[in-house]
């Protein structure tokens, strides 16, 4: 029988001490992906947020959930709610509506539990910034995807990599906690966790090892065109418009899908390859009926636990060496490179400014500065900025203040986004947006969608960028984008 995690309740919060219902057992699978493929159903949306390679203890938990009870999607000025009872379309700001749909925080956070006990998991595309900032419309929007899409779950699996424990958690939505019998909800939760437990014990088949690519890779830029765009960025820098900008290019390819093979199957197999090639602390797989996001992101946009908020900007890249000696030389070169350090400092200051708008005066500080994190194909300079959220500011205020991340726009942020719209031929879509969760405890955690593929029914799209400053070597910046794409290319093969 599941054990409730007890809470005291208060005069403003109904007694929800029965919830969440929690069952805990040893984590015996090889990876969170093994849990995902046991419980995800090919005909229903599902999600995996995986801490594939936790550097310095940054990423402790992985989360798996399938079969949402509500799907929320939004575009400028309108949003859609899809449940088993039907689909409702409404007018309004989608991001505000998302938090309204989540409802009040009736279940207090518990240090004994993972931070996500249920709520919404989804993505916010880079272009969602247009919902609250005025930007020009020059680039082509060729992917008909929502600007944001979230799946609502009341049953979730959490894997604690520190304790090697697996938690199944059932937390009814706030409206159900307020309106329905808690005894009936407890019976429902136990029955659903019984069924989930049986799926976790079921056998599964290994994924296909056949190549996924079915055509030649197509890019939005030739090397010459990308170099010209870099030079245009540098002209804006020289004119004093900006200090630094992130310039991206996109590749796309048609992929194989065997007969009766769903988008879920293709994206799941692709994610498995990518997590082996490039394990990352903020990886994820997000699958709906017509979209899959396959991500091995190394970067956190923002995390909020209670009133403590953290941003973890990445800026500065080197390829990994072919030998240990070459690797050491490249890491020393990255650590001492004046151009990389100046760019990184600029973006740390931008993160401090973004947090400073919503954090208590004097609370924002740099907890970690210019450490090197190594991944399979590249290494990065990383810092961590922390602050204390003002009592008058909400989690929604926090997300609006930091989104999109400054490391993938440049500084100053708004002018850089205007220039990106001018120089990049297609809209970014989910790329450089964010994937993450909003928990019913009020906690949030979002990555930045880099090292990420967007899959539709016929094609895979991947984008990579480089930070441009006044003394950038345009051809070297082009090569940096290819280094960053290498793990994605390998996974497709």
Catalytic residue among 431, 437, 461, 478: 431
Looking up tokens 């709610």, which residue turns up?
Answer: 81
312 catalytic? Reply is no
pLDDT above 60: residue 10:
no
**% residues pLDDT > 90 (the chain):** 69
Cα–Cα nearest to 422, from 215, 138, 35: 138
Strand partners, 310: 303, 386
Beta partners for 436? 122, 446
Report the distance separating Cα 409 and Cα 248, nearest Å: 10
Residue 467 a catalytic site member: yes
Distance CA 432, CA 453 (A): 11
Residues 6+ apart with CB under 8 A from 437: 49, 63, 116, 119, 120, 121, 444, 445, 446
The pLDDT score that the predictor gives to residue 456 is 87
H helix or E strand, kind and range, residue 91: strand 86-91
> Does residue 3 register a pLDDT over 80?
no
Mean pLDDT in residue range 105-124: 91
Look at strands 314-319 and 86-91 and give their pairing. Answer: unpaired
Sequence-distant (≥ 6) Cβ neighbours of residue 114 within 8 angstroms: 61, 63, 158, 160, 167, 169
What average pLDDT does the structure give for the chain?
A: 90
Spatial contact of 270 and 295, defined as CB atoms under 8 Å apart: no
Report which of residues 12 and 237 the model is more confident about: 237
Within its chain, how far is the Cα of 407 from the centroid? 14
Instruction: Give pLDDT, residue 41.
Output: 79
Catalytic hit among 37, 275, 377, 451 = 451
pLDDT (0 to 100) of residue 382: 92
Q: What is the DSSP string of 429-466?
A: TTTTSEEEEEETTS-EEEE---SEEEE-SSEEEEEEEE
Please write the tens of the pLDDT for every residue from 13-25: 455 567 999 999 9
| CA nearest to 370, candidates 312, 321, 410 | 312
Task: Find out whether 283 and 295 touch, Cβ atoms under 8 Å.
Answer: yes
Mean per-residue pLDDT, 339-365: 94
pLDDT at 5: 39
Q: What are phi and psi of 483, to 5 degrees?
A: -60, -45
Q: Which of 171, 265, 317, 407 is catalytic?
A: 407
Measured distance between the N- and C-terminal CA atoms of the chain, rounded to whole angstroms: 46
Residue 208 has pLDDT above 60, yes or no: no
Task: Name the residue with higher pLDDT: 171 or 375.
Answer: 171
272 is a catalytic site residue = no
Alpha-carbon distance 114 to 123, whole Å? 20
Radius of gyration of the chain (CA): 22
Kindly name the residue from 300, 467, 478, 481 that is annotated as catalytic: 467
pLDDT of residue 462: 94
Domains of the chain: 3-492 (3.60.120.10)
Catalytic annotation on 407?
yes
Query: 257 CB contacts (<8 Å, ≥6 apart)?
Result: 263, 266, 457
Q: Pairing between strand 444-447 and 300-305?
A: antiparallel
Q: What is the pLDDT of residues 312-335, one digit of tens each?
A: 999 888 888 888 989 899 888 888
pLDDT for position 415: 97
Residue 285 has pLDDT above 90, yes or no: yes
The average pLDDT across 288-308 equals: 94
Using DSSP's 3-state secondary structure scheme, residue 415 falls into helix
* Predicted local confidence at residue 58, as pLDDT: 67
**Does the structure show a pLDDT above 90 at 491?**
no
Which residues does residue 168 pair with via DSSP β-bridges, in sequence order?
23, 157
Distance CA 11, CA 3 (A): 24
Q: Where are the alpha helices (DSSP H) in 215-337?
A: 223-238, 263-277, 324-336
Any catalytic annotation for residue 431? yes
**Could you give the CA distance from residue 457 to residue 262 in angstroms, rounded to a whole number?**
9
Q: What is the pLDDT of residues 217-262, one digit of tens each?
A: 888 999 999 999 999 999 999 999 999 999 999 999 987 766 556 8
Q: Evaluate if residue 4 carries a pLDDT over 70.
A: no
């Amino acid at each position: 029988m599941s054990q409730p995690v007890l809470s005291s309740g208060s005069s403003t919060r109904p007694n929800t001490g029965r919830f969440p219902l929690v069952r805990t057992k040893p984590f015996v699978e090889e990876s969170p992906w093994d849990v995902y493929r046991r419980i995800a159903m090919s005909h229903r949306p599902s999600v995996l947020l995986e801490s594939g390679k936790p550097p310095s203890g940054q990423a402790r938990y992985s989360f798996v959930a399938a079969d949402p009870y509500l799907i929320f999607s939004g575009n400028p000025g309108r949003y859609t709610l899809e449940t088993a009872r039907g689909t409702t379309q409404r007018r309004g700001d989608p991001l505000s509506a998302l938090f309204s749909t989540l409802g009040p925080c009736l279940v207090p956070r518990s240090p004994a539990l993972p931070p996500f006990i249920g709520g919404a998991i989804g993505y916010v595309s880079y272009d969602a910034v247009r919902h609250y900032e005025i930007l020009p419309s020059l680039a082509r929007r060729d992917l008909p995807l929502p600007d944001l899409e979230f799946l609502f779950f009341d049953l979730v699996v959490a894997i604690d990599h520190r304790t090697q424990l697996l938690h199944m958690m059932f937390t009814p939505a706030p409206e159900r906690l307020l309106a329905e019998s808690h005894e009936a909800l407890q019976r429902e939760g136990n029955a659903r966790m019984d069924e989930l437990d049986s799926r976790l014990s079921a056998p599964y088949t290994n994924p296909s090892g056949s190549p996924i690519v079915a055509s030649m890779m197509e890019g939005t830029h030739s090397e010459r065109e990308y170099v010209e765009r870099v030079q245009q960025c540098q002209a804006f820098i020289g004119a004093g418009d900006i200090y630094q900008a992130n310039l991206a290019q996109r590749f796309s390819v048609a992929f194989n899908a065997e007969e009766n093979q769903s988008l879920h199957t293709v994206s799941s197999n692709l994610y498995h390859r990518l997590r082996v090639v490039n394990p990352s602390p903020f990886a994820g797989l997000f699958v709906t009926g017509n979209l899959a996001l396959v991500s091995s992101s190394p970067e956190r946009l923002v995390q909020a636990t209670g009133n403590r908020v953290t941003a973890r900007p990445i800026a500065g890249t080197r390829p990994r060496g072919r030998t240990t000696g070459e690797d050491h030389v490249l890491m020393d070169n990255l650590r001492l490179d004046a151009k990389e350090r100046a760019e990184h400092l600029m973006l740390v200051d931008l993160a401090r400014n973004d947090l400073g708008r919503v954090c208590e005066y004097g609370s924002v500080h740099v907890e970690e500065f210019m450490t090197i994190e190594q991944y399979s194909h590249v290494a990065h300079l990383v810092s961590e900025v922390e602050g204390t959220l003002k009592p008058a500011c909400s989690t929604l205020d926090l997300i609006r203040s930091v989104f999109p991340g400054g490391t993938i726009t440049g500084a100053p942020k708004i002018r850089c986004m205007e220039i990106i719209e001018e120089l990049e031929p297609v809209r970014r879509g989910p790329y450089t947006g964010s994937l993450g969760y909003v928990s019913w405890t009020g906690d949030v955690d979002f990555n930045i969608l880099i090292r990420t593929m967007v899959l539709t029914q016929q094609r895979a799209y991947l984008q990579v960028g480089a930070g441009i400053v006044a003394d950038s070597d345009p051809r070297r910046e082009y090569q940096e984008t290819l280094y960053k794409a290498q793990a994605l290319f390998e996974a497709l093969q």
